[in-house]
Structure 1
């Protein structure tokens, strides 16, 4: 934990890590100055992560009905800045207009308004998202997923550990300044997963189309604390 008080609390539920390998030379030009692409055995990865947030609130503020719970869907890759590895978000779609605007203003994260639907029955999660943010690139996602098998522990140095054990996020301001934020949580409660993806256009704004079967992992629930961001100098 950092010596500074954490800023936000939240819980993540029914999360599916969906990752596709991408040539590094394709992703590297999409990153801002000061942020470098991270690779695993020379391979870059692009991830789509659907989940549901609950208990989202600033430190010392109680949950707000209708505000503190909402689905979120992000498109991400993995980077380093100043020698520290973390997550770079290309987009974060959310069905919460207030959260979208606060995250954009306070954390410089590319959140977008979306209409989203999610349900879980018999262990299967059905998830759909349609971006509605004014002036933003169109993006749609529809699919279903479920965990399979027993819980797993991702060994240090494994691909599963590399994809999920990321305790920093990066963002950039409109002026091009790069920021880093720390998150805190226990190890991921991971299981393998199965998924059927009907539609996924999240990467079209990057000039990419997802193809092939993704690498899949599922996490049931995780409590998280997030620090305020700081500029990377």
Structure 2
């Protein structure tokens, strides 16, 4: 099993998943716009002084606790997350503004057991002749409405992302932070957790967008990202998930 972090190497993961059909779409964003969406203890993680905001559609399959078989009907979902990047005590990680997903039990478990801001949504993600299309509508009661439609085609393989590069900063993340499932309420509290992931480095490709129509970012009260996104399509990989630990 690959281990991509020096922290807590001796602790055994709890869950295994496979991530596929994944697209990283990122925009540079002014730090002052993102700062209100993080708790005070976390600092924004910047690349050469610049904050970044990402939208990531993908499929999660083969979901199962380590050592146990997958449960039919509970082992597969499509997800859309809105993210930025943060660090605590020098440890960089992902900070999620929202995670829309299709599996009701998975959403409940992620909100209850992992304190993550998952939201119920209808999502389809399909591949036709090498081109992917994702369509989504948020259905979570009480949450701001949001829709999403995107079509992209992966292109040429990219060289392995090297430390210090923008591609590495945006994609090679092996920790996540969360303050609770209700983002704007929970960031004002004292709870903060850090989770850890294990996987091989991403195999990335260029990508071309032929459609992008999304209100996921705007649903958070943020302005529509300006300009074309920085795109990275990713090959499938297996991911091991650890429990969150309070920090």
Deviations 1:59-93 (A, max 9, x none): 22211222101111100000001221000000001
Alignment of 1:217 with 2:224, yes or no, is no
Contact kept, 8 Å, 1:183 with 1:227, in 2: the verdict is yes
Rate the CA distance shift 1:101–1:202 in 2: closer, same or farther, 3 A: same
Relative to its length, the structure with more strand (as a share) is 1
Give 1:153's aligned residue: 160
When the two structures are superposed, what TM-score results if normalisation uses the length of structure 1? 0.96
2:183 counterpart residue number = none
> Shift in Å at residue 152 of structure 1?
2.2
Task: Specify which of 103, 112, 129 is matched with residue 119 of structure 2.
Answer: 112
Q: Say which is worse superposed, 134-143 or 26-35, in terms of deviation.
A: 26-35
Normalised by the size of structure 2, how large is the TM-score? 0.91
Q: Which one of the candidate residues 191, 208, 226 is aligned to 2:241?
A: 226
**Match in the other structure for 1:188:** 202
Q: Which residue of 1 aligns with 2:79?
A: 72
How far residue 206 of structure 1 moved from its aligned partner, in angstroms, is: 3.1
- After TM superposition, give the deviation of residue 195 of structure 1 in Å: 1.3
Equivalent of residue 107 in structure 2, options 100, 104, 107: 100
Alignment of 1:125-204 (within 5 A): 125-173=132-180, 174=186, 175-204=189-218
Partner of 1:25: 32
| Alignment size in residue pairs | 232
Check the 8 A contact 1:74/1:92 in 2, yes or no.
yes
Q: What's the counterpart of residue 53 of structure 1?
A: 60
Q: Secondary structure at the match of 1:64?
A: coil
Does the aligned pair in 1 maintain the 2:77–2:101 contact within 8 Å? yes
- Structure 2, unmatched stretches of 5+, are 4-8, 181-185
- Bigger drift between 192-201 and 218-227 goes to 192-201
Asked whether 1:208 is paired with 2:215, we answer no
Indicate which of 10, 18, 42 corresponds to 2:49: 42
Runs of 4+ that moved beyond 2 A: 173-176
> Contact 2:178 / 2:193 at 8 angstroms: preserved in 1?
yes
- Cα deviation code 1:140-159 (max 9, x no counterpart): 11010121113421122000
Unaligned runs of 5+ in 1: none
